[in-house]
Amino acid sequence: MPTSTPSRSTASSPEHNREDALQRISEKLSSHSARWDREGSFPHEGFDLLAKSEVLRLPIPAHQGGESANLEQQRQVIAAIAKGDPSVALVLAMHYLFLRSLTPASSWPEKTRQEIYQSVLRYGAIGNALNVEPDLGTPSRGGLPATVASRVGDHWVLNGRKIYATGAPRLNWFAVFGRTAEEPTRTGVFLVFKDPGGHHPGIEIRETWNHLGMRATGSHEVIFKDVIVTDEHAVDLRVPADWKKQADPHRISCIVVLIATIYDQIARNALDWLTQFLHDRVPSNLGAALSTLPRVQEKVGEIAALLYVNHALLGMLTSSSDQGVPVAEADAYLAKYQITNNAVRVLEIAMKLAGNHGLTRDNPLERMYRDVLCGRVHTPQDDMALIKAGLSVLDPQH
């Protein structure tokens, strides 16, 4: 007989302890999720929980006091948090991506990296990249930002306006994408810091986020007026053409994995709710649960197939990234397209099977449906993914 291997679910297992902690956090988040959605309020209580756990510091290198979590471990955490509340998971995913930009391979000063790491470790600071502007839209489609940093003496003075700044009410580090007022102009990241619970005279947060889904992300408009930025906080300044030449081949995979995991988990949450509903619902004219009907079983099987594909794609991207094997950009784009659209399709099927029960706001399926639709707006959007895939076929040298 084969010898058994010790289970990692032992009391002394760090992985088991983390899973238990994540489950408790997820359950707490779930108990508040409907209220945060209804009010469109920011989940400060949720982030208070995260700040008391190891979650915020996971990507920080172990020798810096963090956990050196790889992408697979980060993905598991994002999925667990999204099981409780997808909006909290989205802010956390953006924070992880922000921390990833601090790798030694980047051009960020060591002093700046240390400053950010210590703020996370000491009081649970959170960061995010602010890229989108009212006129520019997302910079992934090209163009120069209207946010401008002018040189004054030995520092920069930043002025500009960003929209869809996810997590704005809780952010301590605003990584603002802007350009310099010089010739030739350079673009890069201007770091703006705000003390926890404090006030920065040059930062104004306008509470403009009032969306259909992911309503608790606090993705408000942020205005920067005459904000002083030191040279240590003006990082990665490049001539625009150099951004593509020096692009990180693994970054797009990390973005796709962490963001798509959230929307995949929303679909899995929907399946959990639907499964219970189909077992419990016994129409009087049928005399049996809806789960016994072949046509219902077929549709649930279709959901299982969609989620199976998502699992395979996320696993492939995650494994490749953790092994240091870059995935072609077109392939990563297609994975994001497929995973998010599969998640939307899952909710469409679930809503049809649930009927009026799915549409009522007394049940969470309606909220899940609104949330999952937001998966399509994240970069890369559907048209970008399909155009890049088409070009890779029609013009492989492009």
Kindly report the CATH class assigned to 127-245.
mainly beta
Count the Cβ atoms, other than its own, within 10 Å of residue 23. 13
Rounded alpha-carbon distances, angstroms, from residue 303 to 107, 134, 273, 372: 44, 37, 13, 15
Question: Residues 223-231: what's their mean pLDDT?
Answer: 97
Give the integer Cα–Cα distance in Å for 167 and 127. Answer: 9
Lowest-pLDDT range of 3-17, 103-117, 327-341, 355-369? 3-17
Q: What topology is assigned to 17-123 in CATH?
A: Butyryl-Coa Dehydrogenase, subunit A; domain 1 (1.10.540)
Question: Residues 3-32: what's their mean pLDDT?
Answer: 72
Q: In the chain, what are the domain boundaries?
A: 17-123, 127-245, 251-394
Average pLDDT, the chain: 92
Structure confidence by residue, pLDDT tens digits, 251-288: 899 999 999 999 999 999 999 999 999 999 999 999 99
- pTM of this prediction? 0.93
Residue 105 pLDDT: 67
Give the integer Cα–Cα distance in Å for 88 and 42. Answer: 9
Give the integer Cα–Cα distance in Å for 258 and 77. Answer: 10
Give the integer Cα–Cα distance in Å for 51 and 42. Answer: 15
Which residues, 6 or more positions from 222, have their beta carbon under 8 angstroms from its beta carbon?
A: 130, 161, 162, 165, 168, 174, 203, 204, 205, 206
Could you say which architecture CATH assigns to the domain 251-394?
Answer: Up-down Bundle (1.20)
Residues of the chain with pLDDT > 70: what percent?
A: 94
What DSSP string describes 32-47? HHHHHHHHT---HHHH
Lowest-pLDDT range of 104-118, 213-227, 324-338? 104-118
Structure confidence by residue, pLDDT tens digits, 148-203: 999 999 999 999 999 999 999 999 999 999 999 999 999 999 999 998 877 788 99
Give start and end residues of each alpha helix (H) in 181-328: 240-245, 251-280, 294-322
Q: Which two tokens stand for residue 228?
A: 């002083």
